[in-house]
């Protein structure tokens, strides 16, 4: 006599019937239904019927997410415990000195806070008149392991739409990729599928800032002829017309010029990391001055042309060295070293 047939709340002994339906028939139906849903979802994206259903679902469940974020907020610092355990004495001394300095500054900032409160009121007024940005609170992080996203407490009812850029006080955090009536999903710049037109603030070298699964940002498409140094600030270029020009994105932490490569390998540390912000601004529209100027577009075109020229030159050099290598075995090595 098996009890497992009785289920979760069985109140009586039961014999498992060996002829019991194992669910094979319903499985086939549900598998087909799932495949249909998957196909429709992939083809339709966020704009289809399923996107609307998802928006409704996320609106309905937003109170639960919000409650979870409120409950979890006191424990967010626990993640730092393991890091702190391995800190050496020098770092602790440095932190102590920094703490003393910060305490001094704290008094000044108390005063500044009151000023900020007043300015916040002005920002609210600005939002009331439907100007260029809307303030929102982050209520939840990503619920899956696949995407780096956050959920904010403003949706279509507040004028938010898919594609709008989102920024925190320290810099750009991402872009709206899904909207419900009262919530929106923001893809962070660190997401693997994120890609933003960016440039080096000092040299104005323009490229694309892309996310990765490791959480690092990579600034790509900057040719080796451009000047980029560690510590350079990366800002939005305004090309593409989505992000306002000049918003801070991050700081260059590594620059590598690999021999034979046309582009620099640049790693960027984002200014805004998840957990470092609670309030964000959703930029609802761009003014003319915030978009890339014709000069910027011309500069980007010129950079592309220069890259193409250097690519062509490199190809020619490679071709000639290849020809030489038939008569001189050292030619290939020499070419590699030169580049």
Residues that bind another protein (CB under 8 A): 1-17, 20-24, 26-27, 30-31, 33-42, 50, 53-54, 57-58, 61, 64-65, 67-69, 71-72, 75-76, 140-149, 177-178, 185, 187, 192-193, 212-214
Considering beta carbons, is residue 24 or 329 the nearer one to another protein? 24
Considering beta carbons, is residue 23 or 329 the nearer one to another protein? 23
Decide: 318 and 336 in contact? Cβ < 8 Å. no
Considering beta carbons, is residue 76 or 309 the nearer one to another protein? 76
User: Nearest distance from residue 192's CB to another protein, in Å?
Assistant: 6
User: Nearest distance from residue 149's CB to another protein, in Å?
Assistant: 6
Is the C-alpha dihedral spanning 154, 159, 162, 167 positive or negative?
negative
Please enumerate in sequence order all residues whose Cβ is within 8 A of that of 3, keeping only pairs 6 or more positions apart, or say none: 10, 13, 14
Considering beta carbons, is residue 50 or 242 the nearer one to another protein? 50
Considering beta carbons, is residue 81 or 90 the nearer one to another protein? 81
User: Nearest distance from residue 308's CB to another protein, in Å?
Assistant: 26
User: Nearest distance from residue 195's CB to another protein, in Å?
Assistant: 12
User: Nearest distance from residue 248's CB to another protein, in Å?
Assistant: 25
User: Nearest distance from residue 38's CB to another protein, in Å?
Assistant: 3
What is the Cα gyration radius of the chain?
27
Rounded to 10 degrees, the C-alpha dihedral 168/166/268/262 comes to -160
CA distances in angstroms from 289 to 122, 126, 127, 208, 246, listed in the order given = 22, 18, 20, 21, 11
CA atoms within 13 A on the CB side of 322: 6
Q: Tokens 């980007």 appear where?
A: 300
Considering beta carbons, is residue 165 or 180 the nearer one to another protein? 180
Give the chain's end-to-end CA distance (angstroms, integer).
78
């Amino acid at each position: 006599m098996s009890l497992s047939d009785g289920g979760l709340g069985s109140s009586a002994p039961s014999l498992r019937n060996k002829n019991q339906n194992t669910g094979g028939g319903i499985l086939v139906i549900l598998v087909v239904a799932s495949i249909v849903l998957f196909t429709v979802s992939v083809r339709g994206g966020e704009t289809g019927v399923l996107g609307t259903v998802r928006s409704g679902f996320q609106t309905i469940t937003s109170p639960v997410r919000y409650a979870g974020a409120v409950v979890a907020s006191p424990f967010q610092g626990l993640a730092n415990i393991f890091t702190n355990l391995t800190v050496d004495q020098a770092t602790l001394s440095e932190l102590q000195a920094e703490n003393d300095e910060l305490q001094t500054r704290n008094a000044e900032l108390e005063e500044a806070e009151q000023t900020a409160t007043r300015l916040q009121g002005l920002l609210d007024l600005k939002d009331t008149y439907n100007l260029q940005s809307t303030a929102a609170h982050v209520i939840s992080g990503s619920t899956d392991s696949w995407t780096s996203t956050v959920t904010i407490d403003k949706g279509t009812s507040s004028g938010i739409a898919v594609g709008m850029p989102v920024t925190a006080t320290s810099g750009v955090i991402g872009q709206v990729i899904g909207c419900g009536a009262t919530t929106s999903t923001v893809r962070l710049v660190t997401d693997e599928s994120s890609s933003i037109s960016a440039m080096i603030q000092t040299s104005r070298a323009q490229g694309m800032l892309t996310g990765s699964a490791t959480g690092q940002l990579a600034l790509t498409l900057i040719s080796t002829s451009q000047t980029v140094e560690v510590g350079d600030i990366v800002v939005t270029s305004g090309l593409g017309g989505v992000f306002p020009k000049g918003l801070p994105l991050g700081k260059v932490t590594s620059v590598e010029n690999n021999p034979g490569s046309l582009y620099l390998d640049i790693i960027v540390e984002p200014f805004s990391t998840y957990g470092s912000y609670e309030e964000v601004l959703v930029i609802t529209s761009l003014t003319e001055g915030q978009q890339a100027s014709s000069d910027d577009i011309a500069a980007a075109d010129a950079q592309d042309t220069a890259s193409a020229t250097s690519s062509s030159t490199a190809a020619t050099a490679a071709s000639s060295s290849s020809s030489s290598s038939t008569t001189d075995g050292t030619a290939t090595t020499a070419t590699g070293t030169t580049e």
